[in-house]
Amino acid sequence: MRVLWFGLLLAAVSIAAAQSSAPSPWTMQDSGATAGLRGIDSVDGTVAWASGTGGTVLKTIDGGAHWTKCAVPDAATDGGTLDFRGVQAWDSDTAIVMASGPGEKSRLYKTTDGCGTWVLILKNKDREGFWDALVFVRPDFGTLIGDPVHGRFPIYFTADAGNKWQRMDDKKIFSTGESIFAASNSSLVVDPARPKVYFVTGGDSATAVAVDLHSHLPICKNCESISYSSPALATGKTAGAFSLAWDGDVKLPHFVAVGGDYEKPESVLGTASTWADDHRGNYWWKPSSVPPHGYRSTVQWSEALKLWITAGTNGSDISRDDGKTWQPLDNGNWNALSLPFIVGPNGRIARLDPAALPPAKP
């Protein structure tokens, strides 16, 4: 145990030294906003949408050279009090934003006219509920998840681009005290081919949950639908797994989970773990041997760059070996990723410059 702690200490020192001298690959942009931003969705690197506190929704159609502020959903009533922690977009005209908050403060709004007007499409009816993540993997198919209600995680899905939503009522999707962090709209991953959803939790325990949607179809009522595993991340009231991503490989899928303790942003303990097949049909979670240099709230795989990027309140890191080891990128204050964009508090938005990434280690 002493050897492990000493090794982690040396890793933290070397990470800090390397990071302090490295130029940032993030080019700051002028968002024109001061809101805390946690929602970001890049449609194609040119069109992107961002969202955050105070009813804020932003849009760019020129790669971030200019960001424009959208109309506030339900501005005439309480829209200015909503915290939009998630956004999913189809193009420059169509998007859905997710408000996260207690009870009816959790809502979904949709625009089809470039965010000039919004339509309320779903409102949380659970007084104790709190929505955490919204993901669309196809223009028609989306999934929504929230904190436990009466001990069970509520999961909703739509098959018509968000106009109508159906709630899954599975008693097996239970919580033993943990909840989901709505830090970056990235605690949920959906594989539409199977179909299957994966999500991660924190709090009393850090847990990764897989839900087979086939078990909710009439032809498969007796299917085993739920599996639970531990991603070996930090635990505690303010700790756990905050974000989950996969590389999209349906034959040999590789997942990375990140997190830590947001009240201890400099701690590298329990901040990243990987889940992969050993090519013999065995799957397990394994902590990163060289972790990110602090708490992380978001992670994403870049197919174009063939690397993983993670970020949090004390900076960002990359991994070129499927999350086993991480290299620091910067020490900025970030919340969420949708490459090439990254967002954070006080209206912070930046764009990744791939040419400024550190070279691969020999």
Give DSSP secondary structure letters for 112-154.
SSSSSS-EEEEE---TT--EEEEEESSSS-EEEEES-BTTB--
What is the predicted pLDDT for the residue at 281?
A: 62
pTM, full prediction: 0.91
User: What is the domain range of residue 318?
Assistant: 2-354
Residue 106 falls inside a structural domain: yes
Residue 362 lies in a domain: no
227-286 tens-digit pLDDT = 888 998 999 999 999 999 999 887 788 999 999 999 999 999 999 999 976 666 667 899
DSSP 193: T
CATH number at residue 125: 2.130.10.10
Q: Cα dist. 62→47, 87, 139, 356 in Å?
A: 6, 18, 22, 21
* 307's tokens: 């690397």
Average pLDDT on 167-171 reads: 76
Express as a percent the part of the chain with pLDDT over 70.
88
Query: From the DSSP assignment, how many helices (H) and strands (E) are in the chain?
Result: 1, 29
Decide if 333 is inside a domain. Answer: yes
Per-residue pLDDT, averaged over 291-308, amounts to: 98
Residue 220 Cα to chain centre, angstroms: 30
Q: What is the pLDDT of residues 337-352, one digit of tens each?
A: 999 999 999 999 999 9
Spell out the residues 6+ positions from residue 288 whose beta carbon is closer than 8 angstroms to its own: 271, 272, 273, 274, 319, 323, 324, 325, 326
> pLDDT tens, 192-201?
877 789 999 9
What total number of domains does the chain contain?
A: 1
- Determine which of 207-211, 296-300, 304-308, 334-338 has the lowest per-residue pLDDT on average: 207-211
Query: C-alpha angle with apex 234: 281 to 7, nearest 5 degrees?
Result: 85
Residues ≥6 apart with Cβ < 8 Å to 355: none
Q: Is residue 53 part of a domain?
A: yes
Q: What are phi and psi of 206, to 5 degrees?
A: -95, 120
pLDDT at 222: 45
Domain presence at residue 162: yes
Q: Does residue 361 lie in a domain region?
A: no
pLDDT above 90 coverage of the chain, percent: 75
For residues 271 and 293, give the distance between their C-alpha atoms in angstroms, rounded to a whole number: 8
